[in-house]
């Protein structure tokens, strides 16, 4: 049985007769790809040749591991955000951390500075994205688009703390920043959804932390969800589905995301917040649910326990369609590759492969 892109499309449409549960992964850290695929080097991402080599290896990994699609996201050309870098013990990847207390947009002068803002029509590497999608095999399509939603991009540019303060002290500045961000996200979605090989549009917009949303549900409804909705409506006009990747405790706004924003699927689940099995019970008849095998569990557990937990999730989430199996977030470089493979093997076992 060849699990091609049609399986992913049928899953999103809650096909109860789907003969197998497709795999879904938001992303895979390159060291995991290198280890599993046996690559001896890392591409030079400072050159176009190196970038295309990276994306070719990325696509080959998704294909050879049995995914019916490949995750392809690229960033818009927003002003450079303030980042810090660090590497955790035992991790091969140096990770960037956004400075929550300060951003490049500090006031109206920065917002109106033409040197900081690329014109809307040039806000994204459209040609490079199309070139990467041209490498996707015929039996697959891409899931992705312009990475980052209105909340993430705006808070990265301003800093989360100043953003929150300005919600009270200078709400017009926040609205103007979201206008700058939002119109670029909508334009990018419209252009990218015109690509036949882009099957499903997606961005990540992390709205919460462990116990609550980052800002109040009321503020999300007033400032963030209208721009998310504009992107989703644009995607739907092209006849495509929209996947929201969003971390954190979102129970207070899930009805808004489903009924008002109009998302078709949700990704990112942590057991300490809300297990995917409980999300299936609450919202599984309204949207598709993706992944959900907890990343912390996958990093610490033995392969036998991973097999058992993955099969348990599948038995609960697979019936009725609308579920794809994978991690709760990303296959990280600090996750033992054998643990990721144990999860995948359990999905293959469930599918009878």
Q: Which CATH architecture has domain 5-351?
A: Alpha-Beta Barrel (3.20)
Q: Which residue has the tokens 């990704």?
A: 267
pLDDT value, residue 82: 62
At 64, the pLDDT band (50, 70, 90 cuts) reads very high
Q: Global pTM?
A: 0.96
> What Cα–Cα distance (Å) separates residue 267 from each residue in 27, 196, 208, 247?
12, 23, 13, 8
At 97, the pLDDT band (50, 70, 90 cuts) reads confident
- How many percent of the chain have pLDDT more than 90? 92
Give pLDDT tens digits for 5-48. Answer: 999 999 999 999 999 999 999 999 999 999 999 999 999 999 99
Please determine, for residue 52, whether its predicted confidence score (pLDDT) is greater than 70: yes
pLDDT value, residue 85: 63
pLDDT value, residue 218: 98
Give pLDDT tens digits for 102-161. Answer: 899 999 999 999 999 999 999 999 999 999 999 999 999 999 999 999 999 999 999 999
Q: Which residue has the tokens 């706004």?
A: 253
DSSP state letter for 202:
E
């Amino acid at each position: 049985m060849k699990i091609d892109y049609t399986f992913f499309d049928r899953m999103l449409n809650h096909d109860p007769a789907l003969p197998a549960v497709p795999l879904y992964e938001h992303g895979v850290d390159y060291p995991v790809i290198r280890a599993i695929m046996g690559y001896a080097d890392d591409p030079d991402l400072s050159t176009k040749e190196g970038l295309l080599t990276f994306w070719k290896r990325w696509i080959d990994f998704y294909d050879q591991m049995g995914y019916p699609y490949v995750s392809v996201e690229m960033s818009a050309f927003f002003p450079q955000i303030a980042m810090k870098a660090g590497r955790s013990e035992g991790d091969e990847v140096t990770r960037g951390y956004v400075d929550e207390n300060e951003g490049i947009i500090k006031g109206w002068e920065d917002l109106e500075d033409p040197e900081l803002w690329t014109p809307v029509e040039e806000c994204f590497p459209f040609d490079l994205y199309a070139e990467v999608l041209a490498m996707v095999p015929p039996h697959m399509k891409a899931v992705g688009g312009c990475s980052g939603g209105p909340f993430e991009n705006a808070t990265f540019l301003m800093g989360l703390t100043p953003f929150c303060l300005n919600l009270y002290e200078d709400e017009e500045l926040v609205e103007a920043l979201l206008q700058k961000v939002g119109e670029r996200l909508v334009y990018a979605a419209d252009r990218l959804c015109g690509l036949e090989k882009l099957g499903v549009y997606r961005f990540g917009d992390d709205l919460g932390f462990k116990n609550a949303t980052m800002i109040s549900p009321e503020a999300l409804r007033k400032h963030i969800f209208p721009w998310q909705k504009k992107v989703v409506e644009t995607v739907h006009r092209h006849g495509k589905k929209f996947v929201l990747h969003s971390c954190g405790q979102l129970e207070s706004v899930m009805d808004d995301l489903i009924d008002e924003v109009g998302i078709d699927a949700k990704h990112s689940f942590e057991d300490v917040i809300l297990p995917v099995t409980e999300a299936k019970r609450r919202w599984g008849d309204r949207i598709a649910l993706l992944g959900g095998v907890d990343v912390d569990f996958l990093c610490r557990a033995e392969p036998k326990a991973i097999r058992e937990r993955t099969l348990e999730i599948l038995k609960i989430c697979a019936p009725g369609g609308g579920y794809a199996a994978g991690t709760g977030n990303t296959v990280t470089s600090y996750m033992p590759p054998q643990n990721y493979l144990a999860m995948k093997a359990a999905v293959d076992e469930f599918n009878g492969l």
